[in-house]
Amino acid sequence: MKFLKPLAAFLLCMSLLLLAGCGNQNASGDSASASGASSASSQTSSVSGTLTVKMLNVGQGDAILIETPEQTVLIDTSDVDERDKLKKELKKAGVKNIDKVILTHPHADHIGGMDVLFDGGYKIGMIYDNGMPSTSKLFTGYLKKAKAQGVKRQGLKAGDVLDLGGGARFEVLSPGADLVKQGQAKGYKHDPNNESVVGRLVFGSFTMLFTGDAEKETEAAILQSHRDGVKSLVLKAPHHGSHTSSSKAYLDAVQPEVCLISCGAGNDYGHPHKETLAAYKKIKARMFETDKNGTITITTDGKTYDVKGEK
């Protein structure tokens, strides 16, 4: 009997310790599940303050402003003939310094506003693009001005992660390293849309997928190599809502609750295409368009998020 009493006490102590451990694991698991994103519990604890994303109303082009608790980031700069709109939107947002500029690909409706930044007195920390050459005069012109102003340029490829400060990060999903290598070869025939920088913004449990003008070919490649890394609460509609993008398989993997479309009113391309709108409607995603809603603003604390249009 003297032996049994200490043994019983030891077993009771071990049971209590095991129960305490299980309780902690369940709490963590519930938190991650409720957030709707993988490893969200660890990310939520590391974020601070508020992050805003503004899809700027710049006509038929892309310009998306991200303001983290520590940095200001601009993804694309709209078209040449929309520079006044970009200037107006940046002024309205109170932007003076831009820590990072990410140019998804060298088409005019994505890099056409770089002169606004170079000639407008904005202090630019770093410029990122897809790391491939281009014969576009706008592209070569931006390289010359960046060099003249001492602004460094860096190419991005799948697997790269940019620290945007305050716990926010940008995970690059495309282009792949092999494509970048091919694209640097002399005489290579480029397909700029499908060479777009595609990346996922993560801030706590908030996620948003940025797509440039990537089309179905690139979507398939991303799903093949990064299927588990595309699920996002918000999708920036690829290629201004064109039917060349937003494949069913891609949308099924991303599972967006909200889709944002940047396009100009009455544009010559018919963007967004009815097929794309129908696809977004089928997955019950809320849709916002700059031509109808003006500048679209997302605000998040890393746990919840809110989306509003100007109109």
- The token pair at 164 is 């945007």
The model's pLDDT over 143-174, given as tens digits with 9 standing for 90+, comes to 999 999 999 999 999 999 999 999 999 999 99
Residue 78 is classified by DSSP as -
d(CA 87, CA 84): 5
E strand residue ranges, the chain: 51-55, 64-67, 72-75, 97-102, 123-129, 152-155, 161-165, 168-174, 198-203, 206-210, 234-236, 258-261, 286-289, 296-300, 305-309
Task: State the average pLDDT over residues 61-85.
Answer: 97
Q: Pick the closest to residue 60 from 87, 77, 82 (CA basis).
A: 82
User: What pLDDT score does 21 carry?
Assistant: 40
Q: Quick one: what percent of the chain has pLDDT higher than 70?
A: 86
Q: Which residue has the higher pLDDT, 34 or 238?
A: 238
pLDDT band at 181 (very low <50, low <70, confident <90, very high): very high
Answer yes or no: is pLDDT of 40 > 90.
Answer: no
User: What pLDDT score does 48 carry?
Assistant: 87
CB 19 within 8 A of CB 50: no
CB 306 within 8 A of CB 298: yes
Report the predicted TM-score, pTM, of the whole model to 2 decimal places: 0.85
* Strand, coil or helix: 186: coil
Q: Quick one: what percent of the chain has pLDDT higher than 90?
A: 84
Q: Bridge-partner residues for 259, per DSSP?
A: 235, 287
- C-alpha torsion sign, points 219, 232, 169, 73: positive
CB atoms near residue 107 (< 10 Å): 22
Answer yes or no: is pLDDT of 54 > 90.
Answer: yes
User: What pLDDT score does 43 carry?
Assistant: 43
Residue 80 is classified by DSSP as G
* Strand, coil or helix: 84: helix
Answer yes or no: is pLDDT of 299 > 90.
Answer: yes
Q: What's the order of all strands across the beta sheet hosting 64-67?
A: 152-155, 123-129, 97-102, 72-75, 64-67, 51-55, 296-300, 305-309
Q: Which amino acid type is present at position 311?
A: K
User: What pLDDT score does 19 carry?
Assistant: 38
User: What pLDDT score does 46 carry?
Assistant: 85
| Burial label, 48 (beta-carbon count in 10 A; 0-12, 13-18, 19+) | middle
CB atoms near residue 90 (< 10 Å): 25
Task: State the average pLDDT over residues 63-73.
Answer: 98
d(CA 43, CA 45): 5
pLDDT band at 212 (very low <50, low <70, confident <90, very high): very high
Q: Pick the closest to residue 162 from 68, 31, 265, 245 (CA basis).
A: 68
Q: Which residue has the higher pLDDT, 247 or 35?
A: 247
